[in-house]
Chain A
C-alpha cells in the first residue's frame, strides 16, 4: 500500500487481520478443550516436560497465537496530531518477538496453497489444529500460512503468563503470527 491508501481501507484491512487472529485464538482454545475432553495425546510436547507439575498444561501450550495481548487501536486526535509520525491513525500492535540476528528463525508449518509435510510432532499437532478448525467451522475456515517462532520475549506479558504455569524456559512454546485463511 502507498501513501494514498484511504484510512477506511487501512481500518478494514487491520480489522480483518485482527479478527482472523481472534478466530485462530478462539479455535485453538476449542481445540485444546476438545482434546482435553477426549483425552487425546497431542504431539508437539515441550522439551521442558519435567518442569511441569501437570502434563495437562504442557500438552496444549505447545503453540499459541500472538493474539492475547495484541491491540487493535486508533490514535486519538491531540495537540500533537499535526505532527503525527505515522502515516495512518489505525494500527495493530502485537507482542514483539525477538528478531535480532542471534534469535531463532521463523518456521513455516503450512503454506498458502499446500499443507506440506508433517515430519515432526509439532507440525503434526498444528496440522491437526488446521483440520479441527475446518471441521469446527463447518468447512468455512481453512487456516493456512501458519508460521511462528519458538523464541518469544521473556518480557512480554504472554510469556510471563505462560512461564507462571511452570518453570518453562523461553524456548518452550511456539508463537504463531500473521496467519491467513481460505474461506
Chain B
C-alpha cells in the first residue's frame, strides 16, 4: 500500500489513518465517514445526547454615542500611513470622500470648562498645550463610532 494519501483512490488509507488517530485520542470506538464534500466527521455510537443550552432572549440596547451634542456633518479625505520595505512611513491620501459629524457646541463647552462648570454634555472633550479634543462621530464599517477629534488651534472670536 502506498503511504501517500494522494494515491489513496478509494479513501481507505485515509479512513483507517483518521480512525486510528481518533481512537487513540479518545480511547473510544469511534466511527468515521467521508462526506460528499470530503470532510471527515466523527461520532461516538453511545455518546449522551447533548444538553440543550438555554439562552436569554434579552437584547441589550446598543448605545452608539456617549454624548448627544448637536452635530454638523462635513466631508473629508483620509490620509493613511504605509510602510515600505525599509520601515519608512509614507503618507497616502485617499480619493474616497467620507463623512464626519462634528459637535457644533464645543465652544460653549470650552467656556464651561474654563469657568469650571460641568461640560460633559457638550461636544468639548478637553484641551492640552497644542490641541483641543472635540467630539465627533464617523461611520466605520457601517457602524457609527465615537471618536475624539484633536484639532490644533483656536477659533476666531
**A residues touching B (Cβ–Cβ < 8 Å)?**
1-3, 5, 10, 13-15, 18-19, 22-23, 26, 69, 71-76, 78, 80, 84-88, 90-101, 137, 153, 155-157
Contacts and interface: CB of A to CB of B under 8 A. Distances in A.
Given A73-B77, A76-B75, A157 B153 contact: no
Interface of B is mostly: strand
A93 B104 contact: no
B64 interface: yes
Contact of B153 (A2, A75, A95): A2
B78 A73 contact: yes
A22 B150 CA distance: 16
Interface in B47-89: 62-66, 72, 74-81, 83, 87, 89
Contacts of B98: 73
A82 to B, nearest CB: 12
Interface in B102-131: 102, 104, 106-107, 120, 125-126, 130
A156 B66 CA distance: 11
Contacts of A93: 100, 136, 138, 147-150
B8 interface: no
B145 A95 contact: yes
B126 A99 contact: yes
Given A15-B91, A101-B120, A157-B145, 13 more contacts: A1-B130, A3-B153, A5-B152, A22-B83, A72-B78, A72-B81, A76-B77, A78-B74, A93-B149, A95-B147, A97-B148, A153-B66, A155-B146
Contacts of B36: none
A71 B139 CA distance: 11
21 contacts: A2-B153, A14-B150, A15-B79, A71-B100, A72-B78, A73-B77, A85-B72, A85-B102, A86-B134, A86-B151, A87-B152, A87-B154, A88-B151, A91-B76, A93-B136, A94-B147, A95-B148, A96-B147, A155-B64, A155-B65, A157-B141
A75 B136 contact: no
A74 B146 contact: no
Given A23-B89, A69-B145, A155-B145, A76 B76 contact: yes
Contact of B145 (A5, A78, A97, A156): A156
Contacts of A156: 145-146
Nearest to A83: B72
Contacts of B130: 1, 13
A67 to B, nearest CB: 9
Contact of A88 (B79, B138, B153): B153
B28 to A, nearest CB: 24
Nearest to A177: B148
